[in-house]
Amino acid sequence: MAWLYLAFAIAFEVAATSFIGKTEGFTKLWWTIGVLGLYGVSFAMLAQAVRELEIGMVYAIWSGVGTAAIVAIGVLFLGESLTVPKLFGIGLIVAGVLVLNLFAAPAAHG
């Protein structure tokens, strides 16, 4: 169930970040409320995920997948360019998440 919470946390964070520009610096009330609500749900789901999974691993996945998704959304829907440095940076993020998940020793849960 923790992995499902993490997936929802990522989805809500990506949605919030995708719409943050619509707030125009948090001056548009309804967009601001929506974005803050989406971030709130994301953090609530994140809190549930860390009840069963290590916080370092959860945060690495949440932030890494979220970052990669936002770059993809920017390129596909917002007219942002896809550059070699962006691809390299995303590759480093993916590598870091993999290293944390594959080689970090799991902590004992009490």
How much is the pLDDT for 109?
47
- Could you give the number of structural domains in the chain? 1
CA pair distance 49, 58, nearest whole angstrom: 7
In a domain, 89, yes or no: yes
Selected residue with higher pLDDT from 45 and 102 = 45
Identify the band that residue 110 occupies on the pLDDT scale cut at 50, 70 and 90: very low
- In a domain? residue 110: no
Please give the pLDDT value at position 44.
98
Position 30, amino acid: W
Which domain, by its residues, includes 51?
2-103
CA angle 96, 102, 103 (to 5 degrees): 85
State the Cα–Cα distance between residues 58 and 2, nearest whole angstrom: 10
Would you say residue 52 lies in a domain?
yes
72 domain residue, yes or no: yes
- How many residues can be counted in the chain? 110
108 lies in some domain: no
Distance CA 58, CA 39 (A): 16
Q: Identify the band that residue 108 occupies on the pLDDT scale cut at 50, 70 and 90.
A: very low
Quote the CA–CA distance of 85 and 44 in Å, as a whole number: 33
Alpha carbon distance 9, 41 (integer Å): 7
Q: Assess if residue 93 is contained within a domain.
A: yes
pLDDT in tens, 58-89: 998 999 999 999 999 999 998 999 999 999 99
Evaluate whether residue 60 is within a structural domain.
Answer: yes
Do the beta carbons of residue 29 and residue 81 sit within 8 Å?
no
Q: What is the pLDDT of residues 18-67, one digit of tens each?
A: 999 999 999 999 999 999 999 999 999 999 999 999 998 899 899 999 99
Question: How confident is the model at residue 21, as a pLDDT?
Answer: 93
**What is the widest separation between alpha-carbon atoms in the chain?**
48
Task: Give the per-residue pLDDT at 57.
Answer: 87
**Residue 76: inside a domain, yes or no?**
yes
